[in-house]
Chain A
Amino acid sequence: ILNVEQSPQSLHVQEGDSTNFTCSFPSSNFYALHWYRWETAKSPEALFVMTLNGDEKKKGRISATLNTKEGYSYLYIKGSQPEDSATYLCALNTGFQKLVFGTGTRLLVSP
């Protein structure tokens, strides 16, 4: 089973801080990389699906990059807000939509 690692495990920042976290994987043998946001008591919500080396995606204050050659993806949040508090999940599509998930990064943004 492909091993997807996310770091840090958890992060506590102040409102207004910018932050980033990492998803790393051992090979480029996958079809797409997914990022999801999972707020407490809600369902995971898709942020980005990325497929190409060098891909960059942006949604409001959140952006992501993908480097398949070196095996990582970064998720950036600019000017964090309390409503950004959630667990951020990274997953690889290994074929036919089978996703292998990392353990997530739990972000807490204090006012």
Chain B
Amino acid sequence: DVKVTQSSRYLVKRTGEKVFLECVQDMDHENMFWYRQDPGLGLRLIYFSYDVKMKEKGDIPEGYSVSREKKERFSLILESASTNQTSMYLCASSPLSTGGNSNQPQHFGDGTRLSIL
């Protein structure tokens, strides 16, 4: 089975801190994604990556950056954490799609509930 592991289930940080959320997948997937989930809203895509050292902005990238130095690891970085970044963060991965029209589902981690005080 595909395993997507997020480094922390719960995390509490202070405003202004630089925060790293780590995600590792063990199925050699090319695609990796970071989402956040807030009450009353659907999962929203922050950033995604098709390959090592590649990154693309999602729908809400402001205040975030990412790093993909190795294929299996995709890190989300909050450069200077703010209270409006308190949220549930989910990482996902999927195999490479030819032509972009993949029928492959995404495989998710258990999520990190981040609180910024």
Contact check: which of A1, A31, A96 meets B59 at CB < 8 Å?
A: A1
How far is A64 from B105 in the complex, measured between Cα atoms in Å? 15
How far is A100 from B41 in the complex, measured between Cα atoms in Å? 11
B27 within 8 A of A: no
| Interchain CB contact under 8 A, A101 and B100 | no
Main SS class of interface, A: loop
| Interchain CB contact under 8 A, A44 and B108 | yes
| Interchain CB contact under 8 A, A96 and B97 | yes
B75 within 8 A of A: no
How far is A44 from B102 in the complex, measured between Cα atoms in Å? 19
Q: Given A4-B42, A31-B101, A89-B42, does the pair A99, B106 have CB atoms closer than 8 Å?
A: yes
* Nearest A-chain residue to B58, judged by Cβ: A98
How far is A1 from B97 in the complex, measured between Cα atoms in Å? 22
Q: Given A1-B59, A101-B42, A103-B41, does the pair A95, B101 have CB atoms closer than 8 Å?
A: yes
Contact check: which of A4, A43, A103 meets B108 at CB < 8 Å?
A: A43
| Interchain CB contact under 8 A, B45 and A49 | no
Q: Given A1-B59, A43-B108, A98-B48, does the pair A104, B102 have CB atoms closer than 8 Å?
A: no
Q: What is B's interface to A at a CB cutoff of 8 Å?
A: 4, 31, 33, 35, 40-45, 48, 50, 58-59, 90, 94, 97, 100-111
Other A-B pairs, 6, CB within 8 Å; known A1-B59, A51-B103, A98-B45: A43-B107, A43-B109, A93-B101, A101-B43, A102-B42, A104-B42
